[in-house]
A and B are shown apart, each in its own frame.
Chain A
């Protein structure tokens, strides 16, 4: 996991608030994946981005979720109007030849 930064590591939000999760990939990597892990479940693909471009968002819920990876700065996963079902661990993976995962952000929605 060394080199992939995610913050915050823990995030608590009340229903209806917005959650912003950040991911800085390993140096030199320009592609990131976001995955969601529900309790006692495996990771599920959400979105694949490269700088300034969404490559594959087939795993993103149709509403309330968005992601970006600007030319400068980290990739952002944004969840609007959070609901309790959004409580999960969100991982980003930095893609070089192979993916390397960050430590994750654990989102709790009260």
Chain B
């Protein structure tokens, strides 16, 4: 049973455009929703995270939007750059991030120059 569904599987954006990746979850006990960025041959690196008491969190060009009633959250990358080309994973966990993470299947983002 996949508890976190991520879409799209791949995404191609032009430099300067907006990249949008969506995730939906099933377990209402989840209370921590991070996004990870992974480059080929590397481990996942925490990009930005949100807790369900807020609907949006912004850090630089990266924004998480969170819809608790719909059990959905999304990552927006503004002014996308070629260096943003990577695979992005959404995840969810209980206990504010101190429990195991359940990951989406990932979105491979390509930003063309």
Contacts and interface: CB of A to CB of B under 8 A. Distances in A.
Interface of A: 1, 4, 33, 35, 40-45, 48, 56, 59, 91, 93, 95, 97-104, 106
Chain A contact residues: over half helix, strand or loop, or mixed?
Answer: strand
A41 B106 contact: yes
B105 A98 contact: no
Nearest to A96: B98
Contact of A43 (B44, B46, B49): B44
Interface of B: 6, 34, 36, 41-46, 49, 89, 97-98, 100-106
A102 B43 contact: yes
A99 B97 contact: yes
B59 to A, nearest CB: 14
Given A101-B45, A103-B42, A42 B103 contact: yes
A16 B49 CA distance: 41
Contacts of A40: 105-106
B101 A43 contact: yes
